[in-house]
């Protein structure tokens, strides 16, 4: 079923919207949640919470890209769960990723809500070579580990770290050039 029909099911309050969403985007949502939480049961709970939040937000919201809408909801729910779970025990993979991301956008909690920043992020990503863009997104959107990225691309972990470090610096410079205060 295409996205417009699925969104239409939400707007008509048809409960089959949830099952159709799960058929089409369940695997994506579970992937996102799992790579943040590394726990299948917690990931499944996050995905269920994603469907509930989608149900409660459509209407009035009508997403342009359903996969991005659901992915963002899943990611936010999983991050909140990870922060809650790790509040007393810092130092894991999630904390490292968070620290790397904060290095870029520290002090601006609602940066994704700001359209100027969204446009700056999109223009930055569009300029990157495909491999660099995918590695950057795998790390900071999907929360994949450096080891997993290195294995998937058949490159050393040090190379992945180097690509990410350079790309973070380029991203920071790009945001500054666009007049976005960090």
User: CB pairs under 8 A, 24+ apart, for 1-6?
Assistant: 3/65, 3/66, 3/67, 6/66
Q: Is the pTM of this model over 0.85?
A: no
**122 and 76 together in one domain:** no
| pLDDT confidence tier of residue 87, bands split at 50, 70 and 90 | low
- Which residue, among 98, 101, 106, has the nearest Cα to 181 in the 3D structure? 106
In a domain, residue 182? The reply is no
Q: Is the pLDDT of residue 53 over 70?
A: yes
76 and 97 housed in the same domain? no
User: Percentage of the chain surpassing pLDDT 90?
Assistant: 45
Domain boundary among 85, 115, 137: 85
Q: CATH number of the domain at 14, please.
A: 1.10.1740.10
Q: Which of 49, 66, 85 is the last residue of a domain?
A: 85
**115 within domain boundaries:** yes
The answer to whether position 51 is within a domain reads yes
The pLDDT tens digits of the residues spanning 149-165 come to 999 999 999 999 999 99
Q: Domain of residue 121: give its range.
A: 93-177
Task: Please indicate, yes or no, whether residues 75 and 100 belong to a single structural domain of this protein.
Answer: no
150-155-158 Cα angle (round to 5): 75
> If we measure between CA atoms, which residue out of 112, 86, 96 comes closest to residue 144?
96
Neighbours of 37 (CB within 10 A): 21
Number of domains in the chain: 2
Task: Indicate the pLDDT class of residue 119, thresholds 50, 70 and 90.
Answer: confident
Q: The CATH number of the domain where 130 resides is what?
A: 1.10.10.10
Q: Which of 61, 85, 109 is the last residue of a domain?
A: 85
- Tokens of residue 102, six digits: 């904060």
* Within-domain flag for 72: yes
Reported as a pLDDT band with limits 50, 70 and 90, residue 112 is very low
Structural domain contains residue 40:
yes
Burial class (CB in 10 A: 0-12, 13-18, 19+), 47: buried
Residues 153, 126 within the same domain: yes
**CA distances, 25 to each of 44, 51, 71, 139, 179 (Å):** 13, 10, 9, 20, 36
Please tell me whether residues 98 and 173 are part of one structural domain: yes
């Amino acid at each position: 079923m295409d996205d417009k029909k699925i969104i239409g099911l939400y707007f008509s309050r048809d409960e089959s919207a949830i099952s159709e969403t799960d058929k089409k985007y369940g695997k994506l949502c579970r992937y996102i949640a799992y790579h943040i939480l590394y726990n299948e049961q917690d990931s499944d709970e996050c995905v269920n919470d994603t469907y509930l939040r989608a149900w409660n937000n459509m209407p009035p919201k009508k997403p342009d890209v359903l996969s991005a809408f659901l992915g963002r909801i899943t990611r936010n729910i999983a991050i909140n769960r990870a922060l809650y779970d790790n509040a007393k025990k810092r130092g894991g993979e999630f904390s490292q990723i968070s620290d790397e991301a904060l290095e870029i956008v520290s002090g601006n909690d609602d940066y994704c809500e700001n359209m100027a920043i969204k446009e700056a992020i999109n223009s930055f990503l569009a300029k990157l070579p495909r491999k660099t863009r995918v590695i950057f997104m795998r790390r900071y959107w999907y929360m994949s580990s450096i080891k997993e990225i290195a294995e998937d691309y058949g490159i050393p972990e040090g190379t992945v770290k180097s690509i990410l470090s350079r790309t973070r610096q380029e991203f920071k410079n790009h945001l500054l050039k666009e007049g976005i205060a960090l």
